[in-house]
Structure 1
Amino acid sequence: MCEQVIQYLQCQIPAVNTIELCQRFQAAGIEIVASDLAKVVNAISFIFSTAAKNKLSSEELSTRLGHTVSSLPKQAVQVIRHVWNEQGRAITVAENAKNVVAVGQLIDFQWKLGVTVSSDSCKSLKSPYVTIAVKVADASGHITNKTFEMTVPQFQNFYSKFKEMASVLETV
């Protein structure tokens, strides 16, 4: 799990797959729910990104964890220290840790055009609509799927705003 978080923070993988990790834990006899595992991934991501921003050595990281998180088992601190010692430098070196992911990432975006045939809330039937499905990884790497519908004028406005954002990001 720690190695996947490091890979995620280095942008080598789009997200930490908490569902797969949960299945692996359960196969090993460790009972944990995906939502709790996502919280653990969030915490580890915070620990590693904070250590990168502060350019901590593995000794400093384990010392600080020992002092601030007294409920953390020694074995967990040892694993975090080991992974940080082996792979943490790559995050720290990455442009003074500015490349550490702090926001979510768009993984997939799909849309389709449809026509309303029947509805309780529509005034007029046979009106076109656009269905958008997005897959987003949040800062912890947890993947979420969202689907929403909008009218064609709403979609055109959405598209123009999206295009505007893209042009601003290209100039940065």
Structure 2
Amino acid sequence: MPAAEESYGVSNVVDNICRLPPDPLAEACQHILIYLQGQTRGVESAEISDGFQRAGVVVNHETLQDIIRFLLLTFRSGGRSNVSADELVSKLEGDSNKWSKASLQVLHSSWSEHGALVHAQQEVQAMLSIGQLVDMQWKLGMAVSSDTCRSLNSPYVTLLLKIVEPSGQICQRSFEMTIPQFQNFHKQFKEMAAVMETV
């Protein structure tokens, strides 16, 4: 994206954030910061939208997503760099001269309260750097053709995993296993669960 377009895009998002009253902006920041601390599985844009509507603020879906992405990126970057609230606000002011004093005060206050916890979580995630399993579904089927089954009409299991990646994006992965592979997988899962209960 050319610098002028990128600058215009950031300027637009800053304008939209500055139109928000302090309370719904603080509530949106709270949702995002709680997610970045690892206390929720993801950012629920519907909850943020409901908070805006309760405050009488109407934003379309695309604008809402832009605001959430901007705040996520800002707070995630602040956590990685371990910046203070003053440094965070200074950087925002340096990037755009459109910030309102009220919006910057909300961001300063939110980061003062949660910044250290976000930084700690970022360090843990950097060490682990893996996704989080949030849902697993399976179904039993019958093989009509397969590379791994020796004969047709063999049963197989399809697993569908829903994973939140470190970026916060939810993705799905699916794979098939023969019944013996699935039984081994199940056994390993039970062993992991038993070990985790002792931690």
TM-score after normalising by structure 1: 0.64
Alignment of 1:93-132 (within 5 A): 94=120, 97-100=122-125, 104-116=131-143, 122=145, 126-132=153-159
C-alpha contact (below 8 Å) 1:104/1:138 kept by paired residues: yes
Indicate how the Cα distance of structure 1 residues 100 and 64 shifts in structure 2: closer, same or farther if over 3 A, else same: farther
Q: Which residue of 2 aligns with 1:60?
A: 87
Name the SS for the 2:61 alignment partner.
coil
Q: In the aligned structure 2, how far is the partner of 1:33 from the partner of 1:100?
A: 28
AA matched with 2:60: E
Gap regions ≥5 residues in structure 1 = none
Please state if 1:41 is matched with 2:64. Answer: no
Q: Higher relative contact order by CA 8 Å / sep ≥ 6: 1 or 2? A: 1
Please state if 1:152 is matched with 2:181. Answer: no
Indicate how the Cα distance of structure 1 residues 49 and 155 shifts in structure 2: closer, same or farther if over 3 A, else same: same
Aligned-CA RMSD value: 3.8
Indicate how the Cα distance of structure 1 residues 60 and 83 shifts in structure 2: closer, same or farther if over 3 A, else same: same
Identity %: 27
Structure with max Cα Rg: 2
**More helix by percentage:** 2
Q: Which residue of 2 aligns with 1:29?
A: 58
Name the SS for the 2:79 alignment partner.
helix
Q: Which residue of 1 aligns with 2:34?
A: 7
- Equivalent pairs, count: 153
Gap regions ≥5 residues in structure 2 = 1-27
Name the SS for the 2:32 alignment partner.
helix
